[in-house]
């Protein structure tokens, strides 16, 4: 395994100090140093590129990738071939209100939408916690850092229960409209608090014109929104909102799992159908109205499984 990316200038002294006791006496041409550990060879070149080679390359590189994110606001990710690529970084030092949702792709569990206000003074606090898109953070870390964020950062969350979702969903009130209405609800709630924000940012899930059509009949509207694709990885308020939403969703899923004595799986895959069959056999099909989104195809798959 080989991972290569360009190291920021301000991290070079830190890297030199970090490896100073392990540097090899010899080094490749045009390199600053080379370290040969049993599972990874690390080489820093004069060009600024750093190379990690060996079975432990991903572990060794991850530390410096995290330092780049914390100290330089650089987002470096690895593709399926372990090739490093740099993504667009967080919005530059702007105080923003941002929102994000969780649960729209899960058969079981509610939809949770959260908006947060993140001021410039909170950037270091959030980046040091490792705040980024919740889909790129494991659940254990979500459970650890979300309470810290919620204790410090202003936020507004809304939980749309499955029973309410099933009563209201229709072809005209589809998932995108539901999301737009819920985003508007939490964004407006924060906007009226008079926080000194510069922008309101929403991770774009529909064209702006359609978004405003969806909320056109709502009396209280949050407007002047900046719609941005992959906003969770570009704007700290959206990233923080995604983490809080995920945290609340996980807690709700735990409550449901404890209630039914089964671990309710996330997503909408085959394991979801298996658990759905068990619940229906014990509690009846109507019980799904309280814990699942019945417009998903999983409902029909569960019904068909029960016929066999």
Do both 107 and 250 map to the same domain?
Answer: yes
Q: What percent of the chain has pLDDT over 70?
A: 96
In terms of C-beta density within 10 A (0-12 exposed, 13-18 middle, 19 or more buried), how is residue 29 classed?
exposed
| 175-198: pLDDT as tens digits | 999 999 999 999 999 999 999 999
Q: 93 — phi, psi (to 5°)?
A: 40, 45
Mean pLDDT of the chain: 91
Tell which of 87, 109, 140 closes a domain.
Answer: 87
| 291-307: pLDDT as tens digits | 999 999 999 999 999 88
DSSP state letters, 13-49: HHHHHHHTTTB-SS--TTEEEEEE-SS-EEEEETTSE
Whether residue 267 is predicted with pLDDT greater than 90 in this model: the reply is yes
Do both 153 and 278 map to the same domain?
Answer: no
Do both 248 and 198 map to the same domain?
Answer: yes
Q: What is the CATH number for 82?
A: 3.30.310.10
Average pLDDT over residues 226-244: 89
Distance from C-alpha of 268 to C-alpha of 110, rounded to nearest angstrom: 13
Q: What is the CATH number for 185?
A: 3.30.420.10
Q: Which two tokens stand for residue 5?
A: 């990316």
Would you state the pLDDT for residue 192? Answer: 95
Helix (H, G, I), strand (E, B) or coil at 116: strand
Average pLDDT over residues 200-228: 92
Tell which of 30, 59, 87 closes a domain.
Answer: 87
- Domain of residue 11 covers 2-87
Do both 120 and 235 map to the same domain?
Answer: yes
Q: How many domains does the chain have?
A: 3
Do both 228 and 137 map to the same domain?
Answer: yes
DSSP symbol at 95: -
Distance from C-alpha of 131 to C-alpha of 213, rounded to nearest angstrom: 32
- What residues have CB less than 8 Å from 46, skipping those under 6 apart? 30, 31, 32
Tell which of 30, 63, 87 closes a domain.
Answer: 87
Do both 28 and 68 map to the same domain?
Answer: yes
Do both 229 and 250 map to the same domain?
Answer: yes
Do both 169 and 200 map to the same domain?
Answer: yes
Do both 44 and 19 map to the same domain?
Answer: yes
Which parts of the chain are beta strand (E)?
Answer: 2-6, 31-36, 41-45, 49-53, 75-78, 84-87, 96-102, 111-118, 155-160, 199-203, 225-228
Distance from C-alpha of 54 to C-alpha of 39, rounded to nearest angstrom: 6
From 52-56, 87-91, 277-281, the region with the lowest mean pLDDT = 87-91
Would you state the pLDDT for residue 233? Answer: 77
């Amino acid at each position: 395994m080989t991972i290569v990316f360009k190291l920021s200038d301000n991290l070079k002294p830190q890297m030199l100090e970090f490896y100073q006791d392990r540097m090899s006496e010899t080094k490749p041409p045009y390199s600053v140093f080379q370290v040969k550990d049993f599972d990874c060879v690390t080489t820093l070149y004069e060009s600024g590129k750093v190379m990690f080679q060996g079975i432990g390359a991903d572990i060794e590189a991850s530390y410096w990738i995290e330092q780049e994110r914390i100290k330089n606001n650089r987002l470096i990710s690895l593709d399926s071939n372990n090739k490093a690529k740099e993504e667009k970084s967080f919005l530059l030092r702007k105080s923003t209100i941002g929102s994000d949702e969780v649960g729209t792709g899960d058969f079981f569990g509610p939809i949770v939408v959260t908006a947060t206000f993140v001021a410039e003074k909170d950037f270091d606090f959030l980046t040091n916690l490792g705040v980024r898109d919740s889909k790129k953070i494991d659940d254990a870390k979500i459970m650890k850092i979300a309470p810290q964020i919620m204790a410090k950062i202003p936020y507004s969350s809304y939980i749309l229960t499955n029973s309410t979702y099933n009563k209201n969903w229709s072809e005209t009130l589809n998932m995108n409209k539901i999301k737009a209405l819920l985003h508007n609800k939490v964004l407006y709630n924060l906007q009226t608090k008079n926080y000194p924000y510069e922008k309101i940012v929403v991770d774009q899930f529909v064209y702006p014109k359609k978004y405003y059509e969806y909320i056109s009949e709502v009396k209280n509207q949050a407007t002047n929104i900046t719609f941005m694709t992959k906003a969770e990885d570009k704007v700290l308020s959206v990233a923080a909102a995604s983490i809080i939403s995920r945290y609340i969703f996980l807690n709700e899923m735990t409550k449901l799992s404890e209630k039914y004595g089964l671990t309710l799986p996330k997503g909408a895959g085959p394991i979801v159908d298996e658990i759905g069959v068990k619940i229906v056999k014990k509690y009846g099909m109507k019980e799904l109205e309280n814990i699942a989104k019945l417009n998903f195809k999983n409902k029909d798959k569960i019904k068909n499984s029960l016929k066999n």
